Amino acid sequence: MSTHRYARLLPALLVVTAMAAPSAQTPITLDENSYSLAQDVELGREASAEVRKQLPMLNDDRVDDYVEGIGAKLAGAVPSQLRHDGFRYSFDVVNQKEINAFALPGGPMFLNRGMLEAAGSEGEVAGVMAHEIAHVALRHGTAQATKGQKFQIGALAGQVLGAIVGGTAGSIIAQGSQFGLGTYFLKYGREYENEADLLGAQIMARAGYDPREMASMFRTIEAQGGGGGPEWLSSHPNPGNRYDAITREASTLRVQGDANSGSFSAIQARLRGMAPAYTAEQISKGQARNGSGSAGTSGRAVVQVAPPASQLRNHQPAGFLRVGVPANWNPVGSGEGVTYAPDGGFFRADGGQTVFTHGVQFGIVQGGSGNLQNDTQEILQNFARTNPDLRTAGNGRRERIGGRQGLTTTLSNVSQATGEREYVALSTAHLPDGGVLYMVGVAPQSEARTYEIAFRRVRQSLQIADR
Ligand SMILES: [Zn+2]
C-alpha cells in the first residue's frame, strides 16, 4: 500500500520585491499556505470542470478572443516571483446577466457576460481581471483554506476528499452555494482584497492599463443594486478605503505602454445584438444552454433513478482510500469524485444548490478530538445547520470501517429541496492522523431498505491504507 501524508509545508513568507518603480509600490507577500502548487492546480481544474457543467458558456469566438487577449496581457505582467509552476490562466465568458467574475486556484477565470456589458471601457474589464489574477497568483483560495477552522469539512485535492466546503455533506444536502468549491475558494477577507487591489493595480500598469480604471469598475459594480453587483462584492468585500488605496498605489506606478485593443465598443455592440443573457434564476432552473448549440446540463427532469447495481466498481477517491460503489453510480461534482450517485440522483435546485437524493459522499474532518462519538456529534451538528429537519433515528452502531474502529448512525431528514423524507446513514472512522473520515449515504425513505444494503456494502468495501 502506498503511504500517504498530509501536505504540511513550513510556513513560507516570500517577500515580493518591488519592481522598477520610482516611488515605493506596495510589496505584497505570499501568505502561509499548506497546500502545494500542484494542489492549487488540481483544485482549479476540478472546480472549473464543475463550473462548465453548471454554467452556460457563451462560446462566442470573437468575445472569447477579446477577453483572452486582455487576459494574456495581464497574465504576462504577473511579477516573476509570483509565477508558479503549473499555473495556467484561462478566460471564459459565461452567458449570465448578473455582474460577476471569479477565478479558481491555478488560474481558470470565468467572466459573466453581464460584467462585460456593464463595463465602461476595456480598462475596466481589465481591472476586474487583474484583481482576479492577483488572487490566483497570491494563492488566496488555498491560503484561506489553510487558515480554515479546525472542523473544516473539506479538503486537499487528490489526498483529502471533501465535501469541499460550503459546510455541508452530500445528498442530504443542499450545498451552501452554487458550487461546493465556490464558496470556499472564492470568498475573500478584507486583507486579501486589499492585496488583490494593490497587486492588481501593479499588474495593470505593467500590462499597459491605467490602474485607476480598476477603481472605476468597482464603482460601476457598486452602483448596480440588486442583480449581480452585490454578488461580486460579497466575494470581494471592500476593504475599506478601496478607491483611495488603488489611486494611491496607481500614483506610484508608471503605465507601461497602451494595451487597449480598441475593440471594446465593437464587442459591446456584438453582445447587445445577441439574445439576452440568462439570469441566475434561469440557470438554477436548468433553463440555460451553452452557446453554439451544445446543450448544457439541465436542472431536474422527472427521472427514474435505477436501483443500486449489485456489482461494485472500485474507485480511489484519495491516495489512501479505496472504495467500491454500485457500478451504476458515478463520481459527481469535482473530478475524481467525492460523491457517488446514480443518474438522476442529483440535481440543481432553485437557488442554485446541488442536491443529492441518492448516493454516498465522503469527506474528511481534520483535527478530531480522539473520541469518535464526540467527533461524530460535531459532524452531525455541522450537517444539521443546513438541514434543520435532520434527526437521529437510533443509537450509533460500532463497527469496523476500513479496518478501523468505526461508528454508523442512522438518521432521517426531510429534504428542503424536494420536501421528501430521506433515509440517511452516517459512518465515521478515525484516521491515523487523528482526522475523521465520514461517509454519508442518502436515499428516499421509501427506498431505505434497498439503499441500506447498498450503503453497507460500500462501507464494507472501504480500505484505508496505513500511512
Ligand atoms: Zn477580490
Compute the distance from residue 187 Cα to the ligand 1 centre, in Å. 8
pLDDT band at residue 225 under the 50/70/90 scheme: low
Q: What is the pLDDT of residue 188?
A: 78
Tell me how far the alpha carbon of residue 214 lies from the centroid of ligand 1, in angstroms. Answer: 12
Query: Within 10 Å of residue 97's Cβ, how many Cβ atoms?
Result: 22
Q: How far is the CA of 240 from the centre of ligand 1 (A)?
A: 13
Centroid of ligand 1 to alpha carbon of 222 (angstroms): 14
Mean pLDDT of 392-420: 84
Q: How many angstroms does the Cα of residue 342 sit away from the middle of ligand 1? A: 37
The rounded Å distance from CA 216 to ligand 1 centre is 15
- The candidate with the shortest Cα–Cα distance to 359, out of 256, 269, 239, 444, is 444
Q: What residues does 408 pair with on adjacent strands?
A: 397, 427
Ligand 1 centroid from CA 188, angstroms: 6
- DSSP one-letter code for 95: -
More confident residue, 240 or 270: 270
Q: Do 137 and 206 meet the contact criterion of CB atoms below 8 Å apart?
A: no
* Average pLDDT of the chain, as a whole number: 77
Measured in angstroms, how far is the CA atom of residue 305 from the centroid of ligand 1?
41
CA of 428 to the centre of ligand 1 (A): 36
Which pLDDT tens digit goes with each residue over 46-101? Answer: 878 877 877 889 999 999 999 999 999 999 999 999 999 999 999 999 998 888 88
Say how many Å lie between the CA of residue 284 and the centre of ligand 1.
Answer: 24
Predicted confidence at residue 455, as pLDDT, reads: 93
The Å distance, Cα 130 to ligand 1 centre, comes to 10
Q: Do the beta carbons of residue 43 and residue 333 sit within 8 Å?
A: no
Distance between CA 329 and CA 343 in Å, rounded?
Answer: 7
369-395 exposure pattern, b = at least 16 Cβ within 10 A, e = fewer: eeebeebbbbbbebbbebbeebeeeee
pLDDT band at 234 (very low <50, low <70, confident <90, very high): confident
For 31: left if phi > 0, alpha if psi spans -120 to 50, otherwise beta; the answer is beta
Q: 436 C-alpha vs ligand 1 centroid, how far in Å? A: 32
**pLDDT for position 20:** 39
Q: What is the pLDDT of residue 22?
A: 47
Q: How long, in residues, is the chain?
A: 467
Percentage of residues of the chain with pLDDT beyond 70: 78
Q: What is the whole-number distance in angstroms between the Cα of residue 234 and the centre of ligand 1?
A: 9
Distance in angstroms (rounded) separating the CA atoms of residues 316 and 336: 8
pLDDT digits (tens, 9 = 90+) for 293-323: 333 333 333 456 888 998 999 888 777 888 9
Give me the percent of the chain exceeding a pLDDT of 90. 35
Span from the CA of 19 to the centroid of ligand 1 (angstroms): 22
What pLDDT score was predicted for residue 216? 94
User: Cα(124) to centroid of ligand 1, in Å?
Assistant: 15
**Segment 5-33, tens digit of pLDDT:** 222 222 333 333 333 344 688 988 888 88
Residues 446-467, mean pLDDT to the nearest whole number? 88
**Dist. CA 107 → ligand 1 center (Å):** 14
Tens of pLDDT, residue by residue over 196-206, are: 999 999 999 99
Rounded to the nearest angstrom, the distance between the alpha carbon of 225 and the centre of ligand 1 is 19
Residue found by looking up cell 471564459 in the block: 92
What distance in angstroms lies between residue 254's CA and the mean position of ligand 1's atoms?
Answer: 23
Instruction: Please tell me the distance between residue 131's alpha carbon and the centre of ligand 1 in angstroms.
Output: 6
In terms of C-beta density within 10 A (0-12 exposed, 13-18 middle, 19 or more buried), how is residue 342 classed?
buried
Q: How far is the CA of 328 from the centre of ligand 1 (A)?
A: 41
User: What local confidence, expressed as pLDDT, does residue 295 receive?
Assistant: 32
Rounded mean pLDDT of 207-230? 82
Determine the distance separating the centroid of ligand 1 and the alpha carbon of 197, expressed in angstroms: 7
> How many H helices and E strands in the chain?
14, 18
Ligand 1 centroid to Cα of residue 166, in Å, is 19
Residues 3-34 as b or e (16 or more Cβ within 10 Å = b)? ebeeeeeeeeeeebeeeeeeeebbebebbebb
pLDDT surpasses 80 at 44: yes
154 pLDDT exceeds 90?
no
Would you say residue 358 has pLDDT above 50?
A: yes
- CA 235 to ligand 1 centroid distance, Å: 7
Model confidence over 368-385: pLDDT tens digits? 788 888 888 888 877 777
Q: Residue 259's pLDDT is what?
A: 96
